[in-house]
Structure 1
Amino acid sequence: MSAALSRLAGWFAVLGGLCAGAVALMVVVSIAGRALWATPIPGDVELTQFGVALCISLCLPWAQVHRANIIVDFFTQKAGPATLRGLDGLGALLLAAMTALLAWRTAAGAQAMLEAHEATMILDLPMWWVYALLAPGLALTALVALVQAVVGPDATEATA
């Protein structure tokens, strides 16, 4: 199962990278349009916000697979390997709980936005799309972190 999680996280990261590239290209085109012809892309700020949020959500599982999230080790520099493994497991468990909660509430938010027919101000895009697209990345991050907490931190990294 951990090999499959690693591969899935990799595909999510590829999608996140493509999303980041698309946002970067859109920002360049919008700025050039604003500077050269006084016509930026309508809704460029909305699209940038959505794109960056999606990119982060999609790349989080890959970062967790490789344990590349921020670690503050100031207080644990002199701790032994067993203590560090225990703290890493606890951290992974807490991350799993937090991202599972975020995935759940994001999915619930998508449902609420769908029912309320919320849309963006400029482009009139349905807001539920954005929420719905964020939930899978958060859920996969929770699953990766849970596997790392239960099996160990190298459970997913060794197969990536």
Structure 2
Amino acid sequence: MAEGHSRPRGWTDRLGGVLALAGGAVLLGVALLTCWSVVQRWLTSRPVPGDFELVSLGSGVAVLGFLAWGTARRASIVVDTFTGWLPRRAAGALDAFWMLVWAAAAALLAERLFQGARETLRSGTTTMVLGFPTWWAVGFGALAFAAVALAALAWVPRLGRGEG
């Protein structure tokens, strides 16, 4: 981020923070479950039933929880090999364009995940071992990508003015 310029703040920034905290909490839960399952397997030769299902769902939810936070802070990898020589305003316009593309891609993913959550809920899809419903994880993905799209859109005007 350029000196003297701060990230866009507001409810989208707070939503990204809440989702990141939720993702972190789920990630901590997944780590504890994994430890518990390993210890139980060592002591009893039997893991926690369905541990791999819960770790899989939890890991996906955790990763999705961090996307909006990273976007709100522009914490993703930025490669400016070809734009470092451009004037600040031109580089900002190019960054704004790509942030808009990211917002559109995230919005499309959010919409598709929302449809997937509806279909998963309607069909009653569950995990194989525990029979745990999966619609909520897909729905969380939809919420996370919607928050990413909003966070990216908050950056577009600033980047277009060369602030960022």
TM score, norm. by length of structure 2: 0.86
Change (3 A) 1:142 1:49: same
Deviations 1:9-53 (A, max 9, x none): 111111111111111111111112122321211111111111111
Partner of 1:128: 135
Partner of 1:11: 18
* Unmatched segments (≥5 aa) in structure 2: 1-7
Partner of 1:28: 35
Partner of 2:150: 143
Change (3 A) 1:7 1:153: farther
State the distance in 2 between where 1:24 and 1:104 align.
30
* Unmatched segments (≥5 aa) in structure 1: none
Looking at secondary structure, tell me which structure has more helix per residue. Answer: 1
CA-CA distance at 1:142 after TM superposition: 0.4
State the distance in 2 between where 1:40 and 1:132 align.
29
State the distance in 1 between where 2:88 and 2:37 align.
51
* Two-structure CA RMSD over aligned residues (Å): 2.0
Is the 2:110–2:145 contact (alpha carbons within 8 Å) kept by the matching residues of 1?
A: yes
CA-CA distance at 1:78 after TM superposition: 2.4
Change (3 A) 1:77 1:115: same
Partner of 2:158: 152
CA-CA distance at 1:59 after TM superposition: 1.0
Match of 1:109 among 106, 111, 116: 116
Partner of 2:3: none
CA-CA distance at 1:114 after TM superposition: 1.5
State the distance in 2 between where 1:21 and 1:87 align.
38
Aligned residue for 2:150, secondary structure, equals helix
Partner of 2:97: 90
Aligned residue for 2:78, secondary structure, equals coil
Instruction: Give the letter aligned to residue 144 of structure 2.
Output: G
Deviation beyond 6 Å, 4+ runs, structure 1: none
TM score, norm. by length of structure 1: 0.88
Instruction: Give the letter aligned to residue 57 of structure 2.
Output: F
How many residues were matched structurally? 155
